Amino acid sequence: MEEIGHVKHNNLVKLLGYCAEGVYRMSVSEYVDNGNLHYWLHEFPGQVSPLTWTIRSNIIHNVAKGLAYLHEENKPKILPGSIKSSTILLDENWNPNISDYGLAKLLSPESSHILFCTCSSHVSTNTSIEGSDIYGFGVLMMEIISGKIHVLHSQLQGSL
């Protein structure tokens, strides 16, 4: 978690502190004014969304920049493993900030170890975890563009 506390990027929520006691984990991050992207895409009660196409494009572009920083520029590499609209927080100017990356997998060139993993499924290889971030980003892009929540085919089968 010390490494994560030093991560600085315009598109990442700043980690202020954390606590790890036994099996319990908690992180404290900065407050971001406009809440999460999920609310504005799916729960906003108004008739006209404030998320214009320009804002949506900016969100996609800047989330990509934040992920690229975590995957490529930061050492050790940080793989969030759970990119979704509820983990993207929007500031007062609608700029996105990736949250929950502090509960992620850290990869250093010498070794890899899991601090915490927000992945919904167990992943055995580093490539699979990187792939899940890329897949999650693609799903997020489709959600931002379409305004629809991603539903797995298996979830549809169970509801029929």
Statement: residue 36 has pLDDT above 70: yes
Q: What is the C-alpha to C-alpha distance for residues 89 and 100, in angstroms, rounded to an integer?
A: 10
Predicted confidence (pLDDT) per residue in 55-70, tens digit: 999 999 999 998 888 7
Please choose, from the candidates 14, 36, 18, the residue with its C-alpha nearest in 3D space to the C-alpha of residue 27.
18
Tokens 């290889």 -> residue? 125
Tokens of 74: 């930061």
Selected residue with higher pLDDT from 115 and 4: 4
pTM: predicted TM-score of the whole model, two decimal places: 0.73
The structural domain count of the chain equals 1
Q: In this structure, what are the phi and psi dihedrals at residue 98, rounded to the nearest 5 degrees?
A: -75, 130
Amino acid at 139: V
Structural domain for 54, as ranges: 2-159
User: Which contiguous run of DSSP H or E holds residue 131?
Assistant: helix 126-146
